[in-house]
Each structure stands twice: as structure tokens, then as C-alpha cells.
């Protein structure tokens, strides 16, 4: 299994930048693509795709969200953070059988 490690929680002030990290125990790159995706989940709702293949913004997602990284180190950045962004963020790899990180809960200071 590819294991994804995320910090459990992050507190950020409104209007500031939030950077959420995801580290894998194996390289998830393959033929020029990084098989890493990011999802947002608010309480009582299903997950929503934000970023696919490490850096591609999903349809309808505001440009405040961005992703970068390759190999084993990936980040999701939200800049600037808005009140509606309080949620849990999950990374997921599809290089091998899918696995998810444990999630990072974003809170406002």
C-alpha cells in the first residue's frame, strides 16, 4: 500500500494563506503525471474534488485553491482563506490501488 501522511489540523486567519501537506511513502509519479488528488469535505457532506493530478483545478473550483508537488511531496494551498473553507481536506493517490490520507482539518484562528 502507498501510505499518505497529512498533518491532523491547521489553524489560519481569514485572508491568510493555508498550506496543507501530503507526503507519500512511495513515488506516485508515472510517465510525467503525479497521481495525486485533493478533496474537500464539509461536515455532513460528501467529499468534493478540488485538484487532480497534483496541480489541475477541478471544474468550478475557485482559483484561490492550488496544488503543487511531485514524487512523494505534495501541497494544497488556499490563498486567501475564506470562512467557507473550514473543512477537512484529503489527499488521495491513484498510482496504485487508491489510498487516502487521514485528512487535515482546517480551522480559523
Binding residues vs other proteins (CB under 8 A): 1, 30, 33, 35, 37, 39, 45-49, 52-53, 58, 90, 92, 94, 97-103
Q: How far is the CB of 37 from other proteins (least distance, A)?
A: 5
Whose Cβ is closer to other proteins: residue 61's or residue 108's?
Answer: 61
Q: How far is the CB of 60 from other proteins (least distance, A)?
A: 11
Whose Cβ is closer to other proteins: residue 1's or residue 82's?
Answer: 1
Q: Is the peptide bond before 80 cis (omega within 30 degrees of 0)?
A: yes
In the chain, alpha helices (H) = none
Secondary structure (3-state) at 50 = strand
Contact in structure between 57 and 48 (CB atoms under 8 Å): no
Q: How far is the CB of 92 from other proteins (least distance, A)?
A: 7
CA-nearest of 99, 91, 94, 61 to 78 is 61
Distance CA 32, CA 54 (A): 11
Whose Cβ is closer to other proteins: residue 39's or residue 81's?
Answer: 39
Amino acid at each position: 500500500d502507498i501510505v499518505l501522511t497529512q498533518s491532523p489540523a491547521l489553524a489560519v486567519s481569514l485572508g491568510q494563506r493555508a498550506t496543507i501537506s501530503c507526503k507519500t511513502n512511495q513515488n506516485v509519479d508515472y510517465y510525467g503525471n503525479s497521481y495525486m488528488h485533493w478533496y474537500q469535505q464539509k461536515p455532513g457532506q460528501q467529499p468534493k474534488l478540488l485538484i487532480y493530478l497534483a496541480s489541475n483545478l477541478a471544474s468550478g473550483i475557485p482559483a484561490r485553491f492550488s496544488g503543487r508537488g511531485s514524487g512523494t511531496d505534495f501541497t494544497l494551498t488556499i490563498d486567501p482563506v475564506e470562512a467557507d473553507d473550514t473543512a477537512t481536506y484529503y489527499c488521495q493517490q491513484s498510482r496504485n490501488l487508491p489510498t487516502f490520507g487521514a485528512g487535515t482539518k482546517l480551522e480559523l484562528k
